[in-house]
């Protein structure tokens, strides 16, 4: 079997004999990603209301359900209402320390079972238990690390206390975010991703980033659009007004 050196040598040879090349360049990259990211955040601190309107419009276009609450204290009630409406009895959520709110007590009052993924639990037993819980849950609650207005997209980083399956296995996914997460364009997302990876070990605790644009969908049978083929059938975005 060809090793790395031999494999790369063959490609190097082919690259060297390429005839008639024309000038081509890759996409321009921010020379100092941290500064570029900061500049975008400053601009959005002014423009977030327009970005939010656009997000709502695009998110609803991809069948997302948009909610708006005054502050974090109001979030548990909103989640409880969604759970009640969808008949969800079992919930799974990200670590409250990351979310900034704890919906556990409110939901328990409604008779729901809530499983919370806490940072710091990663032994094999916790792993297996969490997997079974996530698979059985009907509703998953997460934050959103970036929210892209022009496509109606929620961007979630995985990590400690923020399992990847919370937004995948349950039938209903609820993501909660504030104004500081809003971005306008994919180009801005590119800058943020560059910034995130400058020192990945510091900035990112997890190995996966998911862009979520509406519910899971397919049109594989006679091009009929059907939702919830593997992932959630419904995606809710809860916007928290208070900064």
138 is an interface residue for another protein by CB under 8 A: no
165 is an interface residue for another protein by CB under 8 A: yes
202 is an interface residue for another protein by CB under 8 A: no
Sort 197 into a burial class: Cβ within 10 Å, 0-12 / 13-18 / 19+: exposed
35 is an interface residue for another protein by CB under 8 A: no
218 is an interface residue for another protein by CB under 8 A: yes
Tell me how long the chain is. 243
Q: Which of residues 52-111 bind another protein (CB under 8 A)?
A: 58, 62
Residue among 3 and 111 whose Cβ is closer to another protein? 3
Beta bridge partners of 155: 146, 211
| Number of residues located near another protein, criterion CB under 8 A | 84
Residue among 138 and 151 whose Cβ is closer to another protein? 151
Candidate segments 39-47, 79-87, 103-111, 203-211, binder of another protein by CB under 8 A: 203-211
Residue among 78 and 116 whose Cβ is closer to another protein? 116
Residue of the chain from 105, 202, 224, 243 that contacts another protein (CB under 8 A): 224
* 205 backbone dihedrals φ, ψ, rounded to 5°: -90, -15
Candidate segments 37-45, 75-83, 137-145, 201-209, binder of another protein by CB under 8 A: 201-209
Residue of the chain from 43, 102, 110, 150 that contacts another protein (CB under 8 A): 150
| Distance in angstroms (rounded) separating the CA atoms of residues 73 and 99 | 12
Residue of the chain from 105, 111, 220, 243 that contacts another protein (CB under 8 A): 220
| Distance in angstroms (rounded) separating the CA atoms of residues 164 and 131 | 11
130 is an interface residue for another protein by CB under 8 A: yes
Candidate segments 43-51, 80-88, 106-114, 123-131, binder of another protein by CB under 8 A: 123-131
Contacts of 52 by beta carbon, 8 Å cutoff, 6+ apart: 149, 179, 182, 239
Q: Which of residues 15-34 bind another protein (CB under 8 A)?
A: 15, 17-19, 21-22, 24-30
Tokens of 32: 């100092």
Residue among 43 and 194 whose Cβ is closer to another protein? 194
> Assign residue 167 a region: left if phi > 0, alpha if psi is -120 to 50, beta otherwise?
alpha
Residue of the chain from 93, 158, 181, 237 that contacts another protein (CB under 8 A): 158
> Helix, strand, or coil here: 127?
helix
| Distance in angstroms (rounded) separating the CA atoms of residues 240 and 228 | 26
DSSP secondary structure string, 6-72?
A: HHHHHHHHHHHT--S----------SSHHHHHHHHHHHHHHHHHHHHHHHHHHHHHTT-EEEEESSG
């Amino acid at each position: 079997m060809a090793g790395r050196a031999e494999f790369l040598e063959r490609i190097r040879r082919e690259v060297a004999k390429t005839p008639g090349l024309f000038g081509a360049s890759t996409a321009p990259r921010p020379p100092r990603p941290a500064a570029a990211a900061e500049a975008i955040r400053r601009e959005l601190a002014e423009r977030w209301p327009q970005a939010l309107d656009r997000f709502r419009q695009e998110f609803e276009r991809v069948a997302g359900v948009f909610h708006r609450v005054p502050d974090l204290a109001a979030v548990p009630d909103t989640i409880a209402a969604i759970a009640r409406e969808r008949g969800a009895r079992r919930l799974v959520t990200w670590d409250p320390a990351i979310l900034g709110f704890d919906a556990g007590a409110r939901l328990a009052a409604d008779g729901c079972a809530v499983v919370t993924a806490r940072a710091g639990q990663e032994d094999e037993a916790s792993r297996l238990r969490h997997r079974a819980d996530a698979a059985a849950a009907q509703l998953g609650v997460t934050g959103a690390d970036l929210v892209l207005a022009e496509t109606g997209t929620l961007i979630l980083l995985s990590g400690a206390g923020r399992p990847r399956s919370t937004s995948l296995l349950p039938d209903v996914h609820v993501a909660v975010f504030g104004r500081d997460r809003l971005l306008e364009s994919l180009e801005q997302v590119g800058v943020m991703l560059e910034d995130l990876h400058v020192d990945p070990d510091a900035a990112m605790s997890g190995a996966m980033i998911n862009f979520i644009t509406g519910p899971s969908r397919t049109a594989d049978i006679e091009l009929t659009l059907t939702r919830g083929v593997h992932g959630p059938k419904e995606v809710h975005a809860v916007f928290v007004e208070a900064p």
